[in-house]
């Protein structure tokens, strides 16, 4: 069994890379790839945005026999009760910027597949919930819906998306990873830690609290990986 780990930025993998003693592999690939001893875990840094996320994960799933996938990283919190440092176990993901309503589709629905929300694997979500109960962090950890789009959400846009989709956090990759995992038939779950609140302070907060959010998220992911 090989567990795939995917994130958008190097900073989101740093803690796990050290904790799991991941070594760099895949020289010549357009992406940074890392593997544990025996390749029981392979991590890929996909890059930011939906195209980079989909292309990177497609490469990973095409070249390695990944049986389960964990997406990791930070996100903006749009649920009213989420604070910086809190963690969302993503039970599903929607592309908030996909709009084919002119052709009769719901906002966010993927034509052809006719899927709006790509749902995470229930067993992996349950394992993540159990892992959350087994660690001690002074933050809120709960399930939620990730909204993905090719835009860093700030300046009140988060409130509008919350109203439209009832999402909990916003990012630029989760729904793309979920879409690709669905096409490849690989069960997935994503863990997102809140680095900002998708408001007028979001750009400054993202830079200031990135490390704090990654540290919290990494503790949960390490416990989750130990149970898989």
For residues 190 and 47, what is the distance between their CA atoms, to the nearest angstrom?
16
With tokens 């989909």, the residue in question is 54
Burial (CB < 10 A; 0-12, 13-18, 19+), residue 49, is: middle
Is 12 considered catalytic here? yes
The DSSP line for 103-115 is GTPPTTPBTTTTB
Is 106 considered catalytic here? no
Q: Give residue 39's Cα distance to chain centre.
A: 21
User: Which residue in the list 12, 86, 157, 171 is annotated as catalytic?
Assistant: 12
User: Which residue in the list 97, 134, 196, 208 is annotated as catalytic?
Assistant: 196
Terminal-to-terminal C-alpha distance of the chain: 9
3-state secondary structure of 74: strand
For the record, the structure tokens of 9 come out as 């930025």
Note whether 76 and 170 are within 8 A (CB).
yes
Note whether 56 and 31 are within 8 A (CB).
yes
| Enzyme catalytic residues | 12, 196
């Amino acid at each position: 069994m090989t567990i795939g780990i995917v994130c958008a930025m190097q900073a989101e993998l740093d803690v796990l890379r050290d904790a799991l003693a991941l070594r760099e592999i895949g020289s010549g690939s357009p992406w940074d790839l890392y593997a544990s001893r025996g390749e029981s875990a392979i991590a890929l840094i996909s890059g930011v945005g939906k195209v980079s996320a989909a292309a990177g994960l497609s490469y990973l799933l095409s070249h390695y026999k990944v049986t389960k996938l964990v997406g990791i990283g930070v996100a903006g919190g749009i649920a009213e009760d989420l604070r910086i440092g809190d963690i969302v176990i993503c039970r599903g993901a929607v592309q908030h910027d996909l709009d084919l309503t002119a052709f009769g589709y719901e906002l966010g629905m993927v034509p052809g597949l006719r899927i709006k929300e790509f749902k995470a694997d229930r067993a992996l979500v349950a394992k993540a919930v159990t892992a959350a109960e087994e660690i001690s962090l002074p933050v809120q950890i709960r399930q939620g819906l990730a909204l993905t789009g090719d835009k860093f959400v700030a300046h009140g846009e988060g409130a509008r998306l919350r109203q439209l989709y009832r999402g909990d956090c916003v990012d630029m990759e989760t729904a793309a990873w979920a879409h690709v995992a669905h096409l490849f038939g690989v069960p997935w779950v994503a863990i997102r830690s809140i680095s900002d609140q998708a408001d007028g302070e979001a750009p400054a907060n993202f830079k200031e609290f990135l490390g704090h959010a990654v540290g919290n998220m990494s503790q949960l992911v390490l416990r989750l990986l130990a149970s898989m």
